[in-house]
Structure 1
Amino acid sequence: MPQTEADAALSALLHPRSVAVVGASDDPSRIGGRPIAAMLERGFGGRIFPVNPKRPSIQGLPAFAGVADLPETPDAAIIAVPPAAAEAALQDLAERGTRAAILFTAGFAEMGAEGAAAQARLVAIARRRGMRLLGPNSLGLLNTANGFYGTFTSSLERGYPVPGPIGIASQSGAYGMHLFSMARDLGMGLSCSITTGNEADLTVGDFIAWMAQDPNTEVIAAYSEGIRDGDRFLAALELARRNRKPVVIMKVGRSALGRAAAQSHTASLAGDDAVTDAVLGEFGVVRARTTEELLDIARLATRKIYPVGNTLGVLTVSGGAGVLVSDAADAAGLPMPPMPEAAQAALHRDLPFCAPQNPVDCTAQVLNDLTLVGRFGEALLGEGGYRSALLFFTHAGGAPSITPRLREQLRTLRSRYPDRLMVLCVLADPPQIRQFEDDGFAVFADPSRAVAAIHAMGRFGEAFAAGPVQAPTPGPLLEWPDATPSEAEAKRLLASGGIVAAPERACASAEEAAAAAASLGFPVVLKILSRDILHKSEIGGVLLGVPDAAAVRDGFELLMHRAAEAAPAARLEGVLVAKQLSGGVECILGVHRDPVFGPVALFGLGGIFVEVLRDVALRRCPFGEAEAEAMIRSIRGAPLLQGARGRPPADIPALARMLSRLSLLAHAAGPRLASIDLNPVFAMPAGEGAFAADAVIEIAKDAP
């Protein structure tokens, strides 16, 4: 039973007992005729009410002149009329009490400001009556469970899908149906396929949430150009994880060109791609790079084996294939530990010319003795203990003289280890492939694609096992300024939130600066102090290693002169004198407000590691110290913090505390905070702390 009004409306949309088709056509090849023809052909169990004032009947069904003439209030409606008529039709349906509507009609927000205003009127009409909208500019949806085909896709002319456990949600209509068509042609069982179009109301996230609760959907595949409502989207991902429903998504808009195309196509905000990667990873969602990869992962996920601590064992008849698989696994980060020494020795005794390490190459000798498959497979899974197995038999597996005996060996292996993920690489005719799949094996032709899919199953398994992260204790509510503060003000503010800076003094004169330097201890750092000059190094506003009082006085005058020349309108407060730290590792910590997901924290090593290598970790705020430490240890340069090449290990716990506190402050600040940059932060040797040497806080100009 539906638990909320939103659930009830989506149930009405996907499981309607009755549906009105406004703009119905007697021609089954026209947009207004295709859904009626499909529903009639597939035996839709509900009532269909064609609405067309020019015809008494449509495709053998009684037609009605208008919505007011319908014999009952339909649960759902399909609107297939031009934009000028769509608004009136929606108004009529809302007044009748229809729960949900699919708008095929295009020409709204994707066309510019005028279209966006018209789209906003549609939403206002629907919300006044508690109605939900799919679209506009949507290709519709289909639900194989009840034969509801509320779509005008021409793909159905080539066939209908086999009912099954995979659900598809796509923002793009044409590409969503491209995914649907490929899945159908591959024989993948589908529960539903939904295209959301402009997402004036309902989004891909809403349908991920619906599929996460749908008993007919076990695997969720999605295509997105831009995430319109970050909170609803994340709630949907968490619901899917909690219900152990794997989500694989193709999120496009990685490049600047791609983001521009997404904006013009569906009036979407694509957001920052690196942030999207980090957020999807947080919820255990796998991001597919290609359509083939998305379908590969969805297909393998229907086996419902999601290994925790995934490792790959490979049994092959080809040494070359073993090398290929090893390369693919290494690139993906999928561990392939070697077989135990004792197991290798036993395999050598069984077949002296085998290669038993992992990959385990039992050679073409299996053509003479197929029992080798069982013996070597037993060693691989029993003694090797791999959570996943890739079994490469190439064309030999599809040879009629071999297939029956190979199946017998493999079935025994499958029955012995039902909890292991087993994938075959064979080239065979479709009937043979179906036999292998019926025996419990996923079948791939390309071993590299198989490796990518196997790796994804492990990522799902880790996410399901981890569960939701415990929310950290909220951070303090600070009094954020109305405008961007100076560096000294920024550090004072952050210090009240527990973020420690290097010892320093703000000085308004050269003599004051010399006295401050003497008390701090030489050498010192001098920095121009002005809330109007945030990026000081760009104007020569930073002096390092200032050795004595005389140099401090000269440096004070030099910085004031440079600032006056480079930024004559800037308000100069003087110079910041700071103790110069040494012996630590330079890092960068920061937060910026993502337009979709809110504040996102960044960690990386300073210098070229950020500017050139872009070796950083990102995470949505807020998070605790354990998550912060995991971020720190995840970057490629982490060994430099852990004591590589004889360096003392850095105080990683102190760094993690600072990073976590930064995330808590940013989350509590709300939308008025645009960004915080702490660069550099010195991670001192273990036990000596971490100190921010520079701090920039930017307040959003349009913040409430």
Structure 2
Amino acid sequence: MNTRTSHLVIDPRLDRILRPRSVAVVGASNDIARISGRPLRYLLEHGFDGTIYPINPKRDEVQGLKAWPSLASLPETPDVAILAIPAVAIPDTLKEAGQIGLPGAIIMASGFAEASEDGRALQDYVRDIAAEGGVRLIGPNCVGLFSTGARFYGTFTQSLDAGVPQDGGVAVVSQSGAYGGYIAWLARQRGLGVGTWITTGNEVDLEVGECVAWLAGQDEVKVIALYLEGIRNGPAFLDGLARARAAGKPVVAMKVGRSEAGARAATSHTASLAGADEVYDAIFREFGVYRAETTEEQLDIAEACLHGVFPSGNRLGILTLSGGVGVQMCDAAVKYGLDVPPMPQDAQAELKALLPYAAVTNPIDTTAQMMNDMSLVTKNLQMVLERGGYDSLVSFLTTVPGAEAYSGPLRDAILKGVEGFEERLAVLCMAAPEEAKQAYRDAGFVVSQDADRAVQIVGALTAFGQSFAAAAATRPVLPAPDPTLTAADTLSEHAAKQVLARAGVPFLPERLAKTRDEAAAFAKEVGTPLAMKVSSAQIQHKTEIGGVLLNVSGADAAAAAYQTLEANAARNAPDAVLDGILCAPMAPKGVEVIVGTLRDPVFGPVVMFGLGGVLVELFRDVTFERAPFDIGTARKMIGRVRSAPLLAGLRGAKPSDTEALAKLLSDVSCFAAANAETVVSMDLNPVLVLPEGDGVVALDAVVEPG
């Protein structure tokens, strides 16, 4: 299991706030339909196992409980206060809360940063008051939280009107109150136990990352489900994910905002700073987070995680009563990163002897004949698990488990077949009444109704298992920041190359010619055709102004090319300051890739790698990784792009020097991390990956300071 440690300290007040023993409801109402009445109603209806203090200066009693005029009038300081009052009343209430030493408050009111600039100013004021008084805040613009084990329901979500989820190992943290309520309702409908449920709203104080870090330390939490619109505090979020992985607790995240329209909507919804979506993918990959695309998928994966079986190998065995569905599941296995190797030849022969009409490779299609003798079910399962050596098994049982004549005997036969293989993940795919499916779940199986989703579950739990089993990636020791870089610098290509060469980036030998004679002399010295281009901090896209000439042969041609480039720059970029003309030998042949960095506003420096040259914008075959990282991580990065086979050598071509490329990626990541305060972005495009053993060479460089 990964044991990467964290340097952030969990606030001990969170134990009291998230699992309180006493609560004040400020603004408590007798009207149980109102936002100010619902939390008190839920606390009473569901038997909160603690003390409740309704706060309402206009009433002596609220919903049958003694009412108090203020927080200061209470006989004790409660663990948490629910502030069901208008936004304008929040500041004075928090001042009073600080005076009595209140650990935390839940602000349900809206009208803060999500609404207007005035609202943002009010939110900042509320944050400062709470910090001064030592009061932790959840919200504003949230619908609260609940802790099923403590029977604490500090929320106004109407999704609890029909009942509350049963207690269980799922924890939910949602930046959207409405989505959080939806998840709670669906969880109760499917009998999924939710022990902790937190909506964070605008996150003026308590954010998703700190919630995840706290949940990672709770023994009863088995899986954490997240709904994210955008992260503000990158280090805290990374810390929470690191703690969850170290504790072996899977995180299933729904991150919205993939599209430009979605990102805009997320920002307006919770005033989030939604980082580039590809960066979130990189973060999730780094920490083994499963990214769900739909709500049903998120719930399916979370429910499957409760069984606690996370294979570290990806070998999948498929047992089916339908050959067609077996093919479908094979296709799904490829999609979800699983291997479907055949049974050993001797085992195939034995299976064929048991079921003459069966297909016995993998998938093992038993056909319906197996239902004539339940002992065959047991023998097939035992043989597949023992002889096939599969890490996981998916069995497609059609509607048989729902048939009255078969349900009991089939379940007994399956249980006997998997006995002794409890460490293997067993997923059953069936269409059956809910009570029949629940009987299999109670027996320890993961149950799905859809064949593709059944295989997807195996892929997800396998990814968790591999993440938990992997050693923590080594973070390289960073070099000192480059002393020549400042945030105000604007670098020409030549200057950028000098900076990056010191960081280990290989370039062709080149000269910055200041005159036509210097260009001619360099051509004579090199003796091979030259690539010549203008060098100016104000001209980054040189081809657009006629600033590049290739295959310039001989001294006279170099002198003429110098004059042409100088004239083109003067005509097409008259305001640019020209440093000179860069002269370099024409590049050797190689595979073009792009290597770049960007400083993400949330997570810091990130490295991009992908198919290079002019094709990068067309195909977007790129991948990202948080900087810095070692060469092992760089190798994985290279293997992720769709164009990786080009580097391996196609149609007899010699493989490219991917080891040199991996070193370049790692070196660039260290440069980006070391100079994060002064470099906004950097591009090497193209980088030529030469044949194996010959290295790599960058042909162009752009460094954007800031």
Give the TM-score band, short-chain normalised: over 0.9
Deviations 1:317-371 (A, max 9, x none): 0112112212222222222122222222222222221111211100011221222
Partner residue of 1:56?
Answer: 60
User: How far has the Cα of 1:29 moved from its partner?
Assistant: 2.2
Partner residue of 1:572?
Answer: 578
Q: Which stretch has the larger CA shift, 258-267 or 480-489?
A: 480-489
Alignment of 1:14-93 (within 5 A): 14-93=18-97
User: How far has the Cα of 1:4 moved from its partner?
Assistant: 8.8
| Alignment match of 1:188 (pick from 188, 192, 216) | 192
Partner residue of 2:445?
Answer: 441
Alignment of 1:357-376 (within 5 A): 357-376=361-380
Q: AA paired with 1:97? A: G
User: How far has the Cα of 1:584 moved from its partner?
Assistant: 2.0
Partner residue of 2:392?
Answer: 388
Residue 265 of structure 2 corresponds to residue 261 of structure 1:
yes
Deviations 1:290-343 (A, max 9, x none): 001100100000111111122211111011211221222222222212222222
Partner residue of 1:138?
Answer: 142
Contact 1:362 1:372 in 2 (8 A): no
Once residues 178 and 83 of structure 2 are traced to their aligned partners in structure 1, the CA distance between those partners, rounded to angstroms, is 18
Residue 312 of structure 2 corresponds to residue 312 of structure 1:
no
| Alignment match of 2:241 (pick from 237, 242, 259) | 237
Partner residue of 2:625?
Answer: 619
| Alignment match of 2:653 (pick from 647, 656, 677) | 647
Contact 2:381 2:418 in 1 (8 A): no
| Alignment match of 1:424 (pick from 425, 428, 431) | 428
Q: AA paired with 1:654? A: A
State the SS of the aligned residue for 1:419: coil
Once residues 8 and 33 of structure 1 are traced to their aligned partners in structure 2, the CA distance between those partners, rounded to angstroms, is 29
User: How far has the Cα of 1:472 moved from its partner?
Assistant: 0.9
Q: AA paired with 1:636? A: R
State the SS of the aligned residue for 2:359: coil
For residues 299 and 369 of structure 1, do their structure 2 counterparts lie closer, same or farther at Cα, with a shift above 3 Å needed? Answer: same
User: How far has the Cα of 1:608 moved from its partner?
Assistant: 5.5
Alignment of 1:116-155 (within 5 A): 116-155=120-159
Alignment of 1:260-659 (within 5 A): 260-479=264-483, 480-481=485-486, 482-607=488-613, 609-659=615-665
Contact 1:648 1:686 in 2 (8 A): yes
Deviations 1:353-402 (A, max 9, x none): 11112111000112212222112212221111111111111111211100
Residue 220 of structure 2 corresponds to residue 216 of structure 1:
yes
Deviations 1:603-630 (A, max 9, x none): 1132365232221221000011121122
Deviations 1:153-181 (A, max 9, x none): 11111111111100000000001110111
State the SS of the aligned residue for 1:671: coil
For residues 356 and 486 of structure 1, do their structure 2 counterparts lie closer, same or farther at Cα, with a shift above 3 Å needed? Answer: same
User: How far has the Cα of 1:41 moved from its partner?
Assistant: 2.2
Contact 1:241 1:467 in 2 (8 A): no
Partner residue of 1:670?
Answer: 676
State the SS of the aligned residue for 2:568: helix
Q: AA paired with 1:669? A: N
Deviations 1:91-143 (A, max 9, x none): 21122110110001111000121100000011101111222110000100000
> Identity of counterpart residues, as a percentage?
47
Alignment of 1:685-700 (within 5 A): 685-700=691-706
- Normalising to structure 1: TM-score of the pair? 0.97
Contact 1:534 1:696 in 2 (8 A): yes
Once residues 220 and 699 of structure 2 are traced to their aligned partners in structure 1, the CA distance between those partners, rounded to angstroms, is 56
Residue 202 of structure 2 corresponds to residue 198 of structure 1:
yes
Once residues 633 and 448 of structure 2 are traced to their aligned partners in structure 1, the CA distance between those partners, rounded to angstroms, is 36
Residue 178 of structure 2 corresponds to residue 174 of structure 1:
yes
Q: How many residues align?
A: 698
Once residues 262 and 661 of structure 2 are traced to their aligned partners in structure 1, the CA distance between those partners, rounded to angstroms, is 36
State the SS of the aligned residue for 2:125: helix
User: How far has the Cα of 1:547 moved from its partner?
Assistant: 2.0
Once residues 457 and 129 of structure 1 are traced to their aligned partners in structure 2, the CA distance between those partners, rounded to angstroms, is 44
Contact 2:10 2:210 in 1 (8 A): no
Contact 1:163 1:190 in 2 (8 A): yes
Partner residue of 1:679?
Answer: 685
Once residues 307 and 5 of structure 1 are traced to their aligned partners in structure 2, the CA distance between those partners, rounded to angstroms, is 31
Once residues 485 and 130 of structure 1 are traced to their aligned partners in structure 2, the CA distance between those partners, rounded to angstroms, is 47
Contact 1:238 1:468 in 2 (8 A): no
Once residues 59 and 579 of structure 1 are traced to their aligned partners in structure 2, the CA distance between those partners, rounded to angstroms, is 85
User: How far has the Cα of 1:634 moved from its partner?
Assistant: 2.3
- Normalising to structure 2: TM-score of the pair? 0.97
State the SS of the aligned residue for 1:612: helix
User: How far has the Cα of 1:6 moved from its partner?
Assistant: 4.5
For residues 121 and 313 of structure 1, do their structure 2 counterparts lie closer, same or farther at Cα, with a shift above 3 Å needed? Answer: same
Contact 2:113 2:123 in 1 (8 A): yes
For residues 215 and 290 of structure 1, do their structure 2 counterparts lie closer, same or farther at Cα, with a shift above 3 Å needed? Answer: same
State the SS of the aligned residue for 2:538: coil
Structure 2 regions of 5+ residues with no counterpart?
1-6
Q: AA paired with 2:173? A: A
Deviations 1:49-82 (A, max 9, x none): 1100111011121101112211111111000111
User: How far has the Cα of 1:477 moved from its partner?
Assistant: 2.0
Contact 2:359 2:366 in 1 (8 A): yes
For residues 5 and 525 of structure 1, do their structure 2 counterparts lie closer, same or farther at Cα, with a shift above 3 Å needed? Answer: closer
Q: AA paired with 1:144? A: T
Once residues 477 and 509 of structure 1 are traced to their aligned partners in structure 2, the CA distance between those partners, rounded to angstroms, is 34
For residues 4 and 642 of structure 1, do their structure 2 counterparts lie closer, same or farther at Cα, with a shift above 3 Å needed? Answer: closer
Once residues 399 and 69 of structure 1 are traced to their aligned partners in structure 2, the CA distance between those partners, rounded to angstroms, is 64
Contact 2:382 2:418 in 1 (8 A): no
Contact 2:479 2:671 in 1 (8 A): yes
Once residues 272 and 396 of structure 2 are traced to their aligned partners in structure 1, the CA distance between those partners, rounded to angstroms, is 44
User: How far has the Cα of 1:37 moved from its partner?
Assistant: 1.7
Structure 1 regions of 5+ residues with no counterpart?
none
Once residues 448 and 694 of structure 2 are traced to their aligned partners in structure 1, the CA distance between those partners, rounded to angstroms, is 54
Q: AA paired with 1:659? A: L
Q: AA paired with 1:530? A: S
User: How far has the Cα of 1:429 moved from its partner?
Assistant: 1.6
Once residues 342 and 521 of structure 1 are traced to their aligned partners in structure 2, the CA distance between those partners, rounded to angstroms, is 67
Contact 1:307 1:461 in 2 (8 A): yes
For residues 601 and 610 of structure 1, do their structure 2 counterparts lie closer, same or farther at Cα, with a shift above 3 Å needed? Answer: same
Q: AA paired with 1:152? A: F
Q: AA paired with 1:621? A: A
Contact 2:599 2:676 in 1 (8 A): no
Once residues 551 and 185 of structure 2 are traced to their aligned partners in structure 1, the CA distance between those partners, rounded to angstroms, is 66
Contact 1:145 1:216 in 2 (8 A): no
Contact 2:510 2:582 in 1 (8 A): yes
Higher normalized contact order (CA 8 Å, seq sep 6+, divided by chain length): 2
List 4+ stretches of structure 1 deviating above 4 A.
3-6
User: How far has the Cα of 1:493 moved from its partner?
Assistant: 1.1
Contact 2:527 2:554 in 1 (8 A): no
Once residues 402 and 509 of structure 1 are traced to their aligned partners in structure 2, the CA distance between those partners, rounded to angstroms, is 91
Once residues 573 and 696 of structure 1 are traced to their aligned partners in structure 2, the CA distance between those partners, rounded to angstroms, is 15
Once residues 199 and 514 of structure 2 are traced to their aligned partners in structure 1, the CA distance between those partners, rounded to angstroms, is 62
